[in-house]
A and B are shown apart, each in its own frame.
Chain A
């Protein structure tokens, strides 16, 4: 047995922290040098803009945070000089690179790169490759964060109340209403919890099979925290202490036509209730107003849908008329109301999960709570669905 443990991997990873620190230090110099460069060139008007740009570039470099990216950023300076529009930025960067300290740093980087060029690249990809057990990739999530923030604040204009009901640590099961052909409600709820919950908790949410395994959408959703809806996954996520959002209406919730919007559908067979009872996890009802307006569903085409692996083919004002562009949601305003945890759950033993009557009663109770919160959310949102109030 060749005892060749992780030599290659570890050896390759070793130089990385040092290199990263230097890569970070380098743009910091750029930031300091930048205003001087602008002043020296005597471009008084352009100076603030240039400063802003250089700050951008300075912030981007640590975000990339690996020697390879820093290297490519430096080497791209020369061709940029030729382009007149980029001249000012290039001048600044050139100045920063030309400064003796920067040169020293660049040399250091070069040495390290030369010694482990390939492994540098690999460890950079290693950062990209790391996903948690359920497929959440922090790197992908961070990259999409600006888009999520924009969707949250500008597009869906999400407002949320009652987040304090979600515990700061330990597992919790959020039971939500469901709507919209694509699971924007789960994504926006997760973004709300990540942005506004005092503990900045990371929420995982369950998504129906068809959305999860749709090409492109499914794998993207998985990288930012969605998990395929099934009891095994829910059990494991909760026992690992995650906050988990479930949408017990499932496909019935998504498949409401426009005239039935926000009419709460049946809550399945109470799998979520059994789960909460078995694991002794608090059940927190959530009402989400907004998701049903993202895709006003006019008609459901059942023909051919099986062969596409979809429950139905939606017909909305924009889809399939505009093709893939029709998949863009309408900019409806979101209002999320998180309610207090369902009372009396902690008195019940895990054995109650096998009592059909108890499960049925609890299921009805949580459904009523969600219905009430949904009405609250709709009222709080006001009558303007798409327009700002």
Chain B
């Protein structure tokens, strides 16, 4: 089982199954009956968690990782193929791999987790990468496609209802490349779903994921000693605890529920309370000042998000998860408050330098 995440995973897996009799037999039987799941973006947070969950699942025969680097979550079932979604011609390579591995389900998770200065790269990865992946899926049809997205496609707007359902129009976040790329991806996936009626296409719109191990722009924003907020505004925010998010993704891989689903943990928390729960001090800044300064800070690479994200500190973007509960069987085990408290606990440990990177 030592050959973890190598390109020669096929022979490695065979070797593994022959050296132990009991486990080997079981693995062999599993190999025939189980499913083969491909994961793009396996080095993202969700990708890592999904690979780990698939490794544990006896119903899964093979985990095919398509990424520019291997994932630390790789186990004996995992096969790693170095695939750069932004490269021209990658589409035929993906379809070859899908064919060779007999892939039944593809989880497409290769998306930026946080807004980035490198908008051109993010666009290539997300929009063009999705185009390549979808083209490969048309050439070698997979039974099922799972794509991760974000609730920011609805966008924080003053006229949002308190709970946004999947039926609501996706208006995005004006001025944010991060969100407009996600919108483009969703549009492509929607077209793919309508053009390939034979396959089950599931899109998961995740609320901001937070927890002890996740690293994204919200986690970094909350890691500041003094957290800037917008004065006079205290909208309710909703988070997805990382365990809930991973569980939802696994459910989407396991159950055939085509369509779009909002995913979040239970409950909401006002921004001010979010900052307090994280053990931080909020610094309320007047909106005009905040917007101008965040533009400067973003250009100077001193802030986590471009000025467009100020809207998220002023207006609601909270989703209704009843659709996922009804059709996906998603039952969040954590609340938004749990997510912050777990994050805070890990943050405190990190700050005490008891745990180093990777924690």
State the A residues within 8 Å of B (CB). Answer: 1-2, 4-9, 12, 118, 121-122, 125-126, 128-131, 133-135, 137, 209, 213-216, 218-219, 222-223, 227-228, 230-233, 236, 309
Contact = CB atoms under 8 A, between A and B. Distances in A.
A233 B168 CA distance: 13
B236 interface: yes
B69 interface: no
* Interface bin, chain B: 35 or more
Given A219-B233, A228-B161, A129 B334 contact: no
Contacts of B333: 5
A133 B276 contact: no
Interface of B: 49, 52-53, 56, 158-159, 161-163, 165, 212-213, 231-236, 243, 246, 267-270, 273-274, 276-277, 279, 287, 314-315, 333-334, 337-338, 341-342, 344-346, 348
A216 B287 CA distance: 12
A233 B346 CA distance: 36
Nearest to A6: B338
B342 A215 contact: no
Q: In this complex, which of B52, B159, B346 has the most chain A Cβ atoms within 10 angstroms of its Cβ?
A: B159
Contact of A9 (B53, B161, B273, B338): B338
Most buried by B among A5, A137, A209: A5
A213 B315 contact: yes
A144 B66 CA distance: 56
B337 A130 contact: yes
Given A125-B273, A131-B270, A219 B232 contact: yes
B233 A8 contact: no
A4 B342 contact: yes
A236 B162 contact: yes
Contact of A122 (B243, B268, B344): B344
A135 B277 contact: no
Contacts of A230: 159, 161
Contact of A126 (B233, B236, B337): B337
Nearest to A2: B213
A135 B268 contact: yes
Contact of A129 (B162, B213, B269, B342): B269
Given A1-B49, A125-B276, A131-B270, A215 B287 contact: yes
B276 A9 contact: no
B277 A218 contact: no
B236 A2 contact: no
Contacts of B287: 215
Interface centre among B233, B246, B345, by most chain A C-beta atoms within 10 angstroms, is B345
Contact of A131 (B213, B236, B345): B236
Given A213-B315, A218-B233, 8 more contacts: A8-B341, A9-B338, A12-B341, A118-B348, A129-B337, A222-B234, A228-B161, A232-B163
Contacts of A232: 161-163, 165
Given A5-B243, A129-B277, A216 B232 contact: yes
A209 B158 contact: yes
Going nearest first, the 7 A-B pairs with the smallest beta carbon separation are A215-B232, A8-B345, A129-B273, A232-B161, A219-B234, A9-B341, A216-B232
B156 to A, nearest CB: 11
A213 B159 CA distance: 9
A223 B270 CA distance: 9
B277 A125 contact: yes
A9 B165 contact: no
7 contacts: A1-B56, A4-B212, A118-B348, A129-B277, A133-B162, A135-B270, A232-B162
Contacts of A1: 49, 52-53, 56, 243, 246
A60 B341 CA distance: 28
B162 A9 contact: no
B270 A137 contact: yes
Contacts of B276: 125, 128-129
B162 A8 contact: no
Contacts of A121: 279
Nearest to B343: A8
Contact of A134 (B52, B162, B344): B162
Nearest to B346: A8
Given A131-B269, A135-B270, A215-B287, A6 B342 contact: yes
A126 B341 contact: yes
A2 B268 CA distance: 24
Contact of A219 (B270, B274, B341, B346): B270
A236 B270 CA distance: 20
Contact of B277 (A126, A227, A233): A126
Contact of A118 (B234, B279, B315): B279
Nearest to A237: B162
A125 B337 CA distance: 11
A9 B338 CA distance: 7
Contacts of B314: 213
Contacts of B165: 232
A7 B212 CA distance: 11
A219 B162 contact: no
Contact of B268 (A133, A216, A223, A231): A133
A203 to B, nearest CB: 17
B17 to A, nearest CB: 24
A233 B162 contact: yes
